[in-house]
Amino acid sequence: MTIVIEHLCFETILGILPEERVTPQTVQIDCTIEYPYANGSFINYADVAAMIQTTMVERRFELIETALEVLTALLKASFPLISELTLSIRKPDILPQCTVGVIHKTHF
């Protein structure tokens, strides 16, 4: 099975620039989770979305790459059925002409 969470948007502190450390900015997170569905075992996508948002807001990461690594580890520990995980974090408002971000893919 595949879980898809698209356009999870909220404000948080994310970045290394001085203004990014004090002013929350909008982030957009997309997540794809592959897992084997059998005997009614499933992963609750609402729990996944809540964990991502809570972690991002509480941890106030400096680098997107660090946030992706931490989120990957937390999600796999909390949802051991995950066999493949793709996470992306984008900053839609950081550059006026485009959205920028980083994508992380992991096979377990």
- Domain boundary assignment for the chain: 2-42+60-83+95-107
pLDDT of residue 62: 97
Question: Model-level pTM?
Answer: 0.95
Q: How far is CA 65 from CA 2, 23, 61, 101, in A?
A: 23, 20, 9, 9
Beta bridge partners of 84: 34, 107
pLDDT of residue 53: 98
The segments of the chain whose pLDDT lies below 50 read none
pLDDT of residue 71: 98
pLDDT of residue 91: 97
DSSP classification of residue 16: S
